[in-house]
Structure 1
């Protein structure tokens, strides 16, 4: 029993963004609004894709999965932060922290994989259009998503089990608004060499691999578009990739900003603020990026809402 008390503490403190009382109401309203917009926007994407048979294509199948993951991703961190702000308590129990870390890793890595799968979908559609429906058949699309889920579940489980082996000597303060893996490892008072090695190796394999796949796909896409003779054909082909390119750029640039800010001295607050970009802002903007210039999505939503203009629902 003494060993358990030494290696497991009962709770952590999430320091969040600011301790100034006058900012708490503003922060609560800001993040609540962003969370509700994220949920509504991504739900509309799922509704549009599921309700319109014309959107039962690989591209929109992956988009609906991305929207579902984004809903789960933001729901992992934002509700707890809102509760802490409202109650003026920064406490999170040990078990809740471990669960939050597990699901955060799962959904962010799954986001990464889905963006890679969507890049491959655009690669096949533009570079091998005659074989597109044969290659991207429903069985293969489902297999890609299933494999992505299996890999992320196993990786999240591995990281969580390794954190469970760490000991935390006293009640510790996490300079963040959620239980992040890096912060947990830094706060441990036991040897974290193996944890760091696994984390860095996973960053190269699960981060660098998808980025390389996306870059290769778009290198081949640009080469294929360049060979198209007509300007209209080039524009039509490239327009199918614009939304995905914007989402990929937003996701990876914000993630890179987090790691650059965490590498800087006295970076705890800067890292927490930078994390908002890919944990809150990116999932919130994804539905707008994919739907604002997408006639198919707008038409599907208009049909679902019995032809009523979309502006009446915002």
Structure 2
């Protein structure tokens, strides 16, 4: 089955073709980063209009690359939510109209399910069950994934998500939009221990997370530095703050990941979403292991290796490939075709195994 995937939840327009026998055939993406940079953030109306302009050319580019035509498409999958309402409607309208014209089923896909399954597009794929850390945009969640459609929420951020904290901290430091990636690059130049920021909820004994307090700690440090330097932030000091902030976020996520693995008994971790492209997280998770709690009479509990999987870098950001793949999985599960409606707020916990 050949599935066309449409992603338009925020500021990237993604279109892809996934074949259940041959795999991913084509994947085209347009980012609106340059357009929104002028305003310092995503402008929803502009995002919606740009999606409309890009969808047809991107689709035709995918068809040409794959060497197929519209008539070869077996189903159209689209991001139903969560995301910006207008942006989602642009993709939904296009997907439903195209499916209607082709007399093919249309498959609504949860954006976060797309991210969660994106590591399955890599050559080395994780096997079920696994713990998934979703760090995408406004979401930071740990999920127990026992199979396709079988997801249990283990814990999540109670305020700012990690990605939001990155972008807001970057803005505090005067970095250009989108600042999260730039902050990560500058962190490579920072000195260890130049600043010490809190690790919120590190010892909370659960899998809940909080990053707003960390952001406030950075704000306090920035205001102090500016007061001492005539309103400026020296370049090295800025790099040091970036390093300290990123280290704090990484420490929290790694500690919580270890707890999630111990609580579930799983030994496979999947890290997906935009923040999953962060070099520090990839470095820390790349050497992850867990040590079981000591049992009575046991001198030293065993250390167990964890298998960690990331999606290919091209699929960390929003993209059509993950939507086409998730749509194909839903189609194989014989999910009933969806409709035109979108769900800007849509908890992943509402996604259940298709019967």
Q: TM-score, normalised by structure 2?
A: 0.30
More strand by proportion, 1 or 2?
2
Greater relative contact order (Cα < 8 A, sep 6+):
1
More helix by proportion, 1 or 2?
1
Q: TM-score, normalised by structure 1?
A: 0.33
